[in-house]
Chains A and B, each alone.
Chain A
Amino acid sequence: MKIPGFSRHPRELSGAVPAASARVNEEQWVEAARLVREHGHRIVALWGADNRDRDATFSVFAAYAVEHGLVVIELPLPGTRPAYPDLSGLFPAANRMQRALFDLLGIVAEGAEDHRPWLRHGAWSEGEFPLRRDFSGAAGVNEQERYSFVRVEGEGVHEIPVGPIHAGIIEPGHFRFSIVGEKVLRLEERLGFTHKGIDKRFEDFTIAEGHRLAGRVSGDSTVAFAWAYAQAAEALLAVVPPPRARWLRALMLERERVANHLGDLGALGNDAALAFALSQFMRLKEDWLRLNDRVFGHRFMMDRIVPGGVEASMDASQAEAMARQAHEVEGEVQTLRNVFDDHAGLQDRFITTGRVTSELARRLGLAGLAGRASAQPYDLRVDFPCEPYGELDVKKVVYKSGDVAARVNARFDELIESLRLTRAILLKAPEGEAQVELPPARPGAFGVGWIEGWRGEVFVALEAGEGNRIRRGHAHDPSWQGWPLIEHAVIGNIVPDFPLINKSFNLSYSGPDS
C-alpha cells in the first residue's frame, strides 16, 4: 500500500483490510494529503489521541482511501502546543471532523478557516477536552451556546429554523434555511445533539466487548459497525475468524442492507404522498425483521458479530426460510418498482430534485450509496473485497444523475442485488466453527476495520491498552461525508422538497455525533 510519489513507505498493517500506516512529520503530513488529493482519492476519517502519558505527545490520524486500500497517516504533536496543518483546504469533508476533534481533544487545525465548535454545545466548558486523559469531567454551563450561522441578506430573504426536535420520528439536529419565497437559497446544518461521548466510553471496555458499543454508534447500521470493529480487533490480536463466521457476517450485512433499503423506499414514496408505498414496504420490512428475530434472536442482529467470529447459528431449515423469503421479496419488490416507475406524479417529484453533480460529489469526497448515485464508483465489497465478497462477484450499482430518482433507483438495484447475494451466501456458506478464542492483546497494538454498510463506508480504528482494555477507539460513520452534500443538494429546490431530499440520503445523526 502506498501513496504514489510519497517520500515515505507506509508499513503494512495486518488484518482483513488492505491497509498500511506511517508516522510522519508535519511536512510529510501535508505532502501525503496533497498527493492523495492530486490522485483524486479521498479522506475516510480523521481522529486523534492523547499519548502524553506515554511519550508526552498528542497524535492526529488521517485515514485515506487510495488505489489499493487504506493508508493511515499519524502525525505526533508536542504535548505543550498541539497543532497540525489544516486538511479542510484540500478535503472539505475534513472541516467538521477537525472541529469535532478540537472540541474533544483540544488539538488545533492550523490554517483552517472555520473554528466554530461542532460537538461542544456547552455541556462542557471551553478549555476542557473530554478525550484528554486528565479531563476532570466537570460539567459546563449546559446552555446552548450561540452559534454563528452564516446570514443571507437581501430583499425578501428570511430564515426558517428547524429542530433540534423535528416534526416526525426522526433523530435530532438543527437546520437553518435561508429562503426567498419557497426557494431555498442556503441551508446550514448544526448537528452534534446526540453526542454521547462514545470515543471516551470505549476506554471503559475491553477489546473483546467493545463490539457492543460499536454496534450502537448508529443502530440502523449495527451489523456494519460491529463487523468493522471485529476486523479492527482481530487485526490487533492477529486472529482470523473461521470461514463460517465470515460468511454469516456477510449474510447479516446484506440482510441489514435489504431491511434499510425496504424502509427507505417506503418512506421515499410516502414523502412524495404515495402512502401505499409506505404500507407495502414496511410490511415487507416487518416480515424481514421477524425472520431475523427467529434465526438470530434479534430483529437488527445486534451483538451477533463479535471479535473472533459470530454468536449466531443457522440450521438448514432456517437457511431455507431465508432463501425462500429472499425469493418472495424479490417478486414483490419488482411489482412495487413497476408501480413506482409508472407513477407520473411520483417520478415528477423524484427526477431532478436534490441534485448532486458528480463533480461536486468528487470534490466533497462522497462515497457510499449516495456517492454511487452521483457517479462515484466506490464499493468496498467490489474494490477491496474481504472474504467472502471475493467469491460473490458483487455487481456495483452506479448512476450519474445524482438526483432523488438516482438514489431511489440505486436502492432498488442494490436491494435486488443483495437479495441475490443472500441466496448465494446461503448456498455456499461452509459448515464449521463460528468463533475462535481470543489471545490477550499486546498493549499498543493497532488495527483498523473498513466495511461497506448500506449507507456507505464504516471505519473503525482501535488501539489496545493494558489488561486487554481499549486505549483508544474511534468509529467513523459515512454520514460525516454525506451531510455537507445535503446543504448543496437543496439549493434552488423548494422547502417542501427538503424532507424528500433528506430522506433520499437518509443519513445518521447518532453516527457522526457519536
Chain B
Amino acid sequence: MIPLLLKIVRTGIVSESPPEANDELRVNASEIEAEVLKLLGRALVIREVDAGSCNGCELEIHALNNPYYNLEGLGIRFAASPRHADMLLVTGPVSKNMERALRIAYEAMPEPKLVVAIGDCGCTGGIFGESYASCGQVSNVIPVDVAVPGCPPRPIEILRGILTAVASRSS
C-alpha cells in the first residue's frame, strides 16, 4: 500500500486547462437552443458509439480520461446507456453493418440530443468513403451538430469539439 500511496503523492496533479470552444466546428447552427445548453452547463453525459472506425479515434477518446485531460474533472463523463446520455460521440465511417445499431442508439436518447462526429471518417467518410460496406459520414445516418476532423484528431481537439457542442454560442 505504501509504494502505491507514495507513487500518487510523487506524481502530483498533472491536469491541464481545457481548450476554448471553436464555432467553426459547428455543422448545425440552429438545432440546440441556448437555454437548453445553459441548463446542461457542463454536466454532460456522453455515449460513445464506434460505428465502424479503425479504432484509432477510440484510442484518443480514451485518452480524454487520462489525468492530463481529466474529463470528469470538467463534469463530463461517459455512460453505458444512450438513455442516460446528452450527447452521442460517434466515430467511423458508419459501416452498413452498424447503421441500424447507430440509429437505435440515437433514437434511445432523450431530447435534446447532441451529436458530435469524430475524425475524418466521421466527418466525410475519410479514406473508406461510401461503398457497398460503408454509409460514409455520420450525418448520412443521423443529424450531426459538431464535426471534429483529424485522423485521428488529437484528444485536445476532441475535447474542443465536445465543449463547442455545449458552449452557448457567443453571437
Interface set of A (CB-CB < 8 Å, partner B)? 119, 121, 123-124, 130, 135, 137, 139, 142-144, 164-165, 167-172, 192-198, 200-201, 212-213, 216-220, 222, 263, 276, 278-280, 282-283, 285-286, 289, 293, 299-300, 302, 335-336, 338-339, 342-343, 508-510, 513
Contacts and interface: CB of A to CB of B under 8 A. Distances in A.
B131 A201 contact: yes
4 pairs of A and B residues whose beta carbons are closest in the complex: A219-B56, A123-B96, A197-B133, A282-B66
Contacts of A164: 98, 101
B61 interface: yes
A197 B3 CA distance: 49
B52 A219 contact: no
A443 B78 CA distance: 50
Interface in B81-130: 92-93, 95-101, 105, 127-129
A118 to B, nearest CB: 11
Contacts of A222: 56
B58 interface: yes
Given A195-B52, A216-B127, A289-B63, 8 more contacts: A168-B78, A171-B53, A195-B97, A220-B55, A342-B3, A508-B55, A513-B95, A513-B97
A509 B96 contact: no
Contact of A196 (B3, B8, B49, B52): B52
A65 B152 CA distance: 34
Interface of B is mostly: mixed
Given A137-B132, A216-B56, A143 B100 contact: yes
B65 A282 contact: yes
A332 to B, nearest CB: 8
Contact of A219 (B54, B96, B128): B54
Nearest to B66: A282
Contacts of A144: 100
A220 B131 contact: no
A392 B155 CA distance: 34
A283 B66 contact: yes
Contacts of A219: 53-59, 152
Contact of B56 (A172, A212, A302, A336): A302
A398 to B, nearest CB: 28
Given A123-B96, A167-B80, A169-B48, A196 B101 contact: no
9 contacts: A124-B96, A169-B78, A194-B92, A212-B127, A216-B54, A278-B65, A280-B7, A283-B66, A510-B54
Nearest to B80: A167
A218 B53 CA distance: 9
A245 B66 CA distance: 33
Contacts of B50: 169-172, 194
A411 to B, nearest CB: 17
A220 B50 CA distance: 14
Interface of A is mostly: loop
A513 B96 CA distance: 12
Contacts of B132: 123-124, 130, 135, 137, 139, 197, 200
Contacts of B52: 172, 193-196, 510
A197 B151 contact: no
A218 B54 CA distance: 5
Nearest to B134: A196
Contact of B131 (A165, A172, A197, A212): A197
Interface string B40-78: 000000001111111111111111011110000000001
Given A170-B58, A201-B128, A283-B67, A302 B151 contact: yes
Contacts of A167: 80
Contacts of B62: 169, 263, 282
A343 B1 CA distance: 8
A284 to B, nearest CB: 9
Contacts of B100: 142-144
B29 interface: no
Contacts of A335: 3, 7
A216 B92 CA distance: 11
Nearest to B68: A286
A193 B54 contact: no
Nearest to A164: B101
A169 B97 contact: no
A193 B14 contact: no
B98 A194 contact: yes
Contacts of A282: 62-63, 65-67
A196 B55 contact: no
B133 A130 contact: yes
Contact of A276 (B8, B55, B78, B131): B8
Contact of A165 (B11, B58, B65, B101): B101
Contacts of A212: 127
A217 B78 CA distance: 26
A169 B57 CA distance: 10
A213 B78 contact: no
Contacts of B4: 276, 339, 343
Contacts of A172: 49-52, 98, 101
A336 B101 CA distance: 39
B92 to A, nearest CB: 8
B95 A195 contact: yes
A363 B4 CA distance: 41
